[in-house]
Chain A
């Protein structure tokens, strides 16, 4: 069968299931006795197993299967959850993630999973030193009787059988032999299954249903059915199917298997029975509400992101044409045209909102990998850390989401490593042993804020300054004039590390500067606030979207440039004689502040005829706290434009962050104010 068309869905869903595994495992660690959580994990693992087996990824299926066994043992209380077991399960999930990743990257999804499988098997058999010997014996005894049954059942199937029994259903294994001269075996199989499904629930077929449908069997096959009807009735019904030669019915009893006395979670298996059989079921259903409620969600469809990108591109073309139409209608001054264009503008504005919203992804997709990471790091660092996530449903454009992950990882690592102290130190300082790290996201205006707050040691300003001096980042002179905030921001300078010791986690002096650069390249900014002994807050401000931005169009001679509104403080027209000179640098006094003037004409080497005006048009822009005045010839106005890249050929053009297409079809370059202000 052609699997490629399903591959994408498979990868997406696998990732979702793995993520859910991760989340639930963390939950489980907090509430080791909560069987519901185990069930949730089991469900994810089970689906994953089914999917990967269908797709032919055997290693993936094997490992999930083994994991499932362990989970099953946990939920049947054969094994008690402890940190050691969870570590192994986490390890297995890591392996699974790696395999799914490899498949996503076009690999074959193969991986040596023997270590993880072995460990899981040990746990399953209860041979882990953490478990008592008595348990080991019972667990070991479990494995044997399975071989007595003709069809072998895995733990899951046994649970189903047992549950059915409790609800008054019997389980029979039917060996069905077709006549040797039977020609359409698959058709007969189909008819047999149809009869069986009217009588009960088929829970297993040997060979598998797929193989049976493809006629990959000789004359005989066996089917296990859960039913309330008597064996004889079923037998008679089946014999009515032509070309069926012989039917042996055998009751599958609990004697075949060690009975499990302590199954507490009745009914929770029901949804999985459906999954397993994947057929119309006439078994009575006992809904288990707790896990089901969590899965209930809005009606959604899965759309390939590429299609959304295409839609976005088409819409961008429309935005350009809209600009053009607006211009034409202004020139023609025709009332009817004017109204129509205005109406169209309004509608395309609504359309723009909808399309941008469609591309919005909750920041959850980035945040949800952090609990796992924090857990691991806390262990590595021997710290106790409680991570709190607030506002995970805050939505951001996918383009931003894709970029923001790495900087956040870095900042969280930093908070854990340098921020939160060890339990001993915390205790000595009268704090609770457990450190708190809060990851918070929220909307404000056209921006999204992400904050990473810790209640750790805070930033030692003097230490930072000393280090910066030592590393030659600042001079003695500037050091004395630094405000607290400016001092903290030194840790974003390249070649800076305040950690006394270099640790594996962070503190190599690379990274925070990369964080700052990445965020700024996204059109955002990052700031720090800190109180010694009480903790620090790293606050990131990001634009909601990167594809359509508001700009101020300016003209320099005959060239048009766009300056992002996000960098603009205000525009001003000043008299020529108000321009002052300081150290060969033209400056102006802007609301009591000395602001350097930069001539865009000079910077961009615009061909000019050197005429001089009495008034100068200035756009005041900022980068962080610093201001600069950009001298232009005239302001054209504010406009929403579509951000386009300059392509792969012209990379890293100085002070140009991209381009946009104006209403008249011409290209205008977008000024990168961050590059202009040092």
Chain B
């Protein structure tokens, strides 16, 4: 690998509604088409269920639901990005995923104060290439197992 490539950050780009988001390629194991999802009862709303990922039962969360965007029907562009955090594998449902970009780490800026949307909590930074704006998401905050447990408990009580 050349030095510039090593210094650059490789990002997987995906789309939710009109915006383009990105996560580092090293956090992505694979990108899958959306197939049958088995609903898991009594979990938080953004957990859509589990899928059979080549013999491994993998939980799936909807990023639209997580970012408080309205849900959309899955179509032929819909993808599941299998992301890896610590030792967890979780699938993220996105509208489409079709690009890989290289950015210099210094080109990533902190998120602007006013992003005008609920997903602000999950943003690590933004980066601009030509006229496209990419929002880097913070996988750790997106998954946040504690929140999962807390909401799970709430669901049980009610």
Q: Which residues of A contact B (CB under 8 A)?
A: 313, 316-317, 320, 559, 603-606, 644-656, 659, 661, 665-669
Name the one of A313, A606, A648 contacting B41, with C-beta atoms under 8 angstroms.
A606
Query: What CA separation (Å) do A649 and B89 show in the bound complex?
Result: 7
Offer 21 A-B interface pairs, CB within 8 angstroms, sorted by A.
A313-B55, A604-B42, A645-B57, A646-B40, A647-B58, A647-B88, A647-B89, A649-B90, A649-B145, A650-B40, A650-B50, A653-B41, A653-B43, A655-B42, A656-B41, A659-B50, A661-B52, A665-B35, A666-B38, A669-B38, A669-B50
Q: Separation in Å of the A312 CB from the closest CB of chain B?
A: 12
Q: Separation in Å of the A571 CB from the closest CB of chain B?
A: 22
Name the one of A313, A653, A661, A665 contacting B40, with C-beta atoms under 8 angstroms.
A653
On chain A, the residues within 8 Å of B38 by CB distance are 559, 659, 666-669
On chain A, the residues within 8 Å of B143 by CB distance are 649
On chain B, the residues within 8 Å of A559 by CB distance are 38-39
Name the one of B47, B55, B87 contacting A650, with C-beta atoms under 8 angstroms.
B47
Q: Does B148 contact A (CB under 8 A)?
A: yes
Q: 1/0 per residue B69-90: CB within 8 Å of A?
A: 0000000000000000011111
Q: 1/0 per residue B32-62: CB within 8 Å of A?
A: 0001101111110001011110011111000
When the two chains form their complex, are residues A666 and B57 in contact, meaning their CB atoms are under 8 A apart? no
Q: Separation in Å of the B53 CB from the closest CB of chain A?
A: 10
Query: What CA separation (Å) do A287 and B105 show in the bound complex?
Result: 73
When the two chains form their complex, are residues B59 and A665 in contact, meaning their CB atoms are under 8 A apart? no
When the two chains form their complex, are residues A661 and B55 in contact, meaning their CB atoms are under 8 A apart? yes
Q: Separation in Å of the B80 CB from the closest CB of chain A?
A: 14
Q: Does B140 contact A (CB under 8 A)?
A: no
Q: Separation in Å of the B44 CB from the closest CB of chain A?
A: 10
Q: Which residues of B contact A (CB under 8 A)?
A: 35-36, 38-43, 47, 49-52, 55-59, 86-90, 143, 145, 148-149, 152, 156
> If the complex has contacts A652-B152, A659-B50, are A647 and B42 also in contact, measured as CB distance less than 8 A?
no
Query: What CA separation (Å) do A665 and B57 show in the bound complex?
Result: 11
Q: Separation in Å of the A546 CB from the closest CB of chain B?
A: 16
Name the one of B36, B43, B47, B148 contacting A666, with C-beta atoms under 8 angstroms.
B36
When the two chains form their complex, are residues B57 and A661 in contact, meaning their CB atoms are under 8 A apart? yes
On chain B, the residues within 8 Å of A666 by CB distance are 36, 38, 52
Query: Taking CB as reference atom, which chain B residue is nearest A560?
Result: B38
Query: Taking CB as reference atom, which chain B residue is nearest A558?
Result: B39
Name the one of B57, B87, B149 contacting A644, with C-beta atoms under 8 angstroms.
B57
Query: Taking CB as reference atom, which chain B residue is nearest A313?
Result: B55
When the two chains form their complex, are residues A659 and B57 in contact, meaning their CB atoms are under 8 A apart? yes
When the two chains form their complex, are residues B57 and A648 in contact, meaning their CB atoms are under 8 A apart? no
Query: What CA separation (Å) do A606 and B145 show in the bound complex?
Result: 24
Query: Taking CB as reference atom, which chain B residue is nearest A317?
Result: B55
Query: Taking CB as reference atom, which chain A residue is nearest B55?
Result: A317
When the two chains form their complex, are residues A667 and B57 in contact, meaning their CB atoms are under 8 A apart? yes
Query: What CA separation (Å) do A479 and B57 show in the bound complex?
Result: 45
Q: Separation in Å of the B118 CB from the closest CB of chain A?
A: 22
Closest 9 CB pairs of A and B: A604-B41, A667-B38, A659-B57, A648-B88, A649-B88, A654-B42, A644-B57, A649-B59, A650-B59
On chain B, the residues within 8 Å of A647 by CB distance are 50, 56-59, 88-90
Number of A-B contacts (CB under 8 A): 84
On chain B, the residues within 8 Å of A606 by CB distance are 41
> If the complex has contacts A649-B59, A659-B57, A661-B55, are A654 and B88 also in contact, measured as CB distance less than 8 A?
no
Query: What CA separation (Å) do A289 and B36 show in the bound complex?
Result: 65
On chain A, the residues within 8 Å of B51 by CB distance are 667
Q: Separation in Å of the A653 CB from the closest CB of chain B?
A: 6
Query: Taking CB as reference atom, which chain B residue is nearest A660?
Result: B57
When the two chains form their complex, are residues B42 and A652 in contact, meaning their CB atoms are under 8 A apart? no
Query: What CA separation (Å) do A668 and B42 show in the bound complex?
Result: 15
Query: What CA separation (Å) do A284 and B37 show in the bound complex?
Result: 73
Query: What CA separation (Å) do A604 and B149 show in the bound complex?
Result: 18
Query: What CA separation (Å) do A313 and B49 show in the bound complex?
Result: 23
Query: What CA separation (Å) do A330 and B117 show in the bound complex?
Result: 52
Query: What CA separation (Å) do A651 and B36 show in the bound complex?
Result: 21
Query: Taking CB as reference atom, which chain A residue is nearest B35?
Result: A665
Query: What CA separation (Å) do A605 and B152 show in the bound complex?
Result: 14
Q: Separation in Å of the B8 CB from the closest CB of chain A?
A: 30
When the two chains form their complex, are residues B59 and A646 in contact, meaning their CB atoms are under 8 A apart? yes
Query: What CA separation (Å) do A659 and B87 show in the bound complex?
Result: 19
Given contacts A559-B38, A669-B50, 12 further A-B contacts (CB under 8 A): A646-B50, A647-B56, A649-B145, A650-B43, A650-B59, A652-B149, A659-B57, A665-B36, A665-B52, A667-B36, A667-B51, A667-B57
Query: What CA separation (Å) do A675 and B106 show in the bound complex?
Result: 52
On chain A, the residues within 8 Å of B88 by CB distance are 647-649
On chain B, the residues within 8 Å of A648 by CB distance are 86-88
Query: What CA separation (Å) do A660 and B39 show in the bound complex?
Result: 13
When the two chains form their complex, are residues A316 and B55 in contact, meaning their CB atoms are under 8 A apart? yes
The residue among B39, B43, B89 with the most chain A CB atoms within 10 A of its own CB is B39
On chain A, the residues within 8 Å of B58 by CB distance are 647
On chain B, the residues within 8 Å of A653 by CB distance are 40-43, 152
Q: Separation in Å of the A180 CB from the closest CB of chain B?
A: 55
On chain A, the residues within 8 Å of B156 by CB distance are 654
When the two chains form their complex, are residues B52 and A667 in contact, meaning their CB atoms are under 8 A apart? yes
On chain A, the residues within 8 Å of B148 by CB distance are 649-650
Query: What CA separation (Å) do A645 and B58 show in the bound complex?
Result: 9
